[in-house]
Homo-oligomer: A and B are copies of this chain.
Amino acid sequence: MVTEQGNALVAQSGGPTAAINATLSGVIRASHESTRISHLYGAFNGIDGILNERFSLLDYRIRTLDDLRLLETTPAAALGSCRVRLGDPEQQPQVYEKVFDFFRRHDIRYFFYIGGNDSMDTLSKLSTYASMTDSHVRMIGVPKTIDNDLAETDHTPGYGSAAKYIAVSVQEIARDAAVYASRSLTVVEVMGRDAGWLTAAAALPRLYGGSAADLVYLPERPFSFERFFRDVEQTWESKPNVVAAVAEGLRLSDGRYVGESSQSGDIDVFGHRYLSGAAREIGSAVRRELGCKVRDMSLDVSQRCASHSASLTDIRESVAIGKSAVRAAVRGATNEMMVFRRVSKSPYKVEIGRVSLERVANEVRRVPEVYINESGNNVTDECLRYMAPLITGEANVRYENGLPVHFVIPISLQEKNYI
């Protein structure tokens, strides 16, 4: 077992979340506790940092428990991120050689990659290459994505905080929409190209009698403008101010994105064609067809970075899954992704497990039929009960001068090597 003593490397990849740094903190905490890990390195901008030798000994950059606590409520990826996806080893042997040369030179025995399904694909390829070349570097993926669309896990770290931000914001927006006595429609666009998990969160306050989106449209069902008009008019019969949540990835039955449907015109002064968002497009259509006051808006990037409103459950679980990744690796695991398994619905309880990377890579987990109502214009109570525990608790954000304090790893992108 002596050969397992060595260094570990961690990197972050894909779109940031409010909880991805909490997972990083978990990796740091468990690495520090492990007698098998001498030093923990962080690669900057994911796999790019390995290829370009941009990395740091994290022991030098994050020194105190207080740093770690702040890191856990700091949004976006503290180590930076990338959108790089590795090709197959046969196509890019030099890239793989470079990565494993890096591992050898820095005595890396454990590699933790925090990312979504593209990142798991990259890690899976690296694992395959490792076994082909008799490398003993152990590779563990730690999931993160606000989209909640990774296979094999009950939910993904980062989703709970994003869902909480959406539920909190939509509850406020619905309250705001209700102040005027005249009829109106508010269309709120929520992130999610292929899966409606985030959009579903706009319905969550309903579970507790709060103000929620009245209508909810997920990309799992084809969108019809005609049906939408009917749904809105029907809802107006019981209340004047209707709020609809729509996924950015809504598609028409012909497969085109709703946001693409204004194709013939909309050229600006420079001759450039716009791609309108789904909410914008639906808002315009309602203004013309139903002639009422319409507001359309998008919750945009705050959905993934609003750590001031992060879910305590999400932050805690994200730390825990990062720790578990380290413990699993030193105990021998490799070529796996950590997952949550919900072992009890009520009271809510999860356990952390592992699955083979290849079962996750490139898979998309969509919202199941049983979570969508028959009319396709809302989610079921079962769906609300699935989401509810994930947004509970408020992350312990430290404020100074009225603003959350973030922990920034003191690096400069101008530096080349960072140790």
Which residues on A are within 8 Å of B, measured CB to CB? 12, 16, 44-45, 48, 74-77, 80-83, 164, 167-169, 171-173, 175-176, 178-181, 186, 204-205, 207-208, 210-211, 239-240, 261-272, 274, 276, 281, 284-285, 287-288, 295, 297-302, 304-309, 311, 313, 388, 391-394, 399-404, 406, 413
Contact = CB atoms under 8 A, between A and B. Distances in A.
Given A261-B269, A264-B269, 5 more contacts: A77-B179, A171-B403, A172-B305, A262-B269, A313-B402
Contact of A175 (B76, B288, B313): B76
- Output the residue of A75, A301, A302 with the most chain B CB within 10 A: A302
B269 A265 contact: yes
A16 to B, nearest CB: 5
Contact of A210 (B76, B181, B306, B403): B403
* 4 closest A-B pairs by CB: A265-B267, A262-B268, A391-B402, A266-B266
A305 B175 contact: yes
A208 B311 contact: no
A39 to B, nearest CB: 24
Nearest to A14: B179
A133 to B, nearest CB: 29
- Output the residue of A265, A267, A295, A298 with the most chain B CB within 10 A: A265
A204 B48 CA distance: 33
Contact of A208 (B48, B391, B401): B401
Contacts of A305: 172-173, 175-176
A26 B276 CA distance: 44
Contacts of A287: 272
Number of copies: 2
B285 A270 contact: yes
Nearest to A268: B262
Contacts of A171: 403-404, 406
B180 A82 contact: yes
Given A179-B76, A391-B402, A402-B391, A302 B269 contact: no
A179 B406 contact: no
A253 to B, nearest CB: 16
- Output the residue of A167, A181, A392 with the most chain B CB within 10 A: A181
Nearest to A207: B401
- Output the residue of A168, A402, A413 with the most chain B CB within 10 A: A402
Given A16-B176, A173-B301, A295-B301, A392 B401 contact: yes
A276 B299 CA distance: 17
Contacts of A44: 181
B81 A179 contact: yes
Given A180-B80, A402-B393, A284 B288 contact: no
Nearest to A274: B266
Given A266-B274, A270-B285, A173 B309 contact: no
A135 to B, nearest CB: 27
Contacts of A263: 269
Nearest to A211: B406
24 contacts: A16-B179, A75-B175, A83-B180, A171-B403, A171-B404, A172-B307, A173-B305, A176-B305, A207-B401, A208-B400, A208-B403, A210-B403, A239-B413, A240-B413, A265-B265, A270-B284, A270-B285, A272-B288, A274-B274, A274-B276, A298-B298, A298-B300, A299-B302, A309-B309
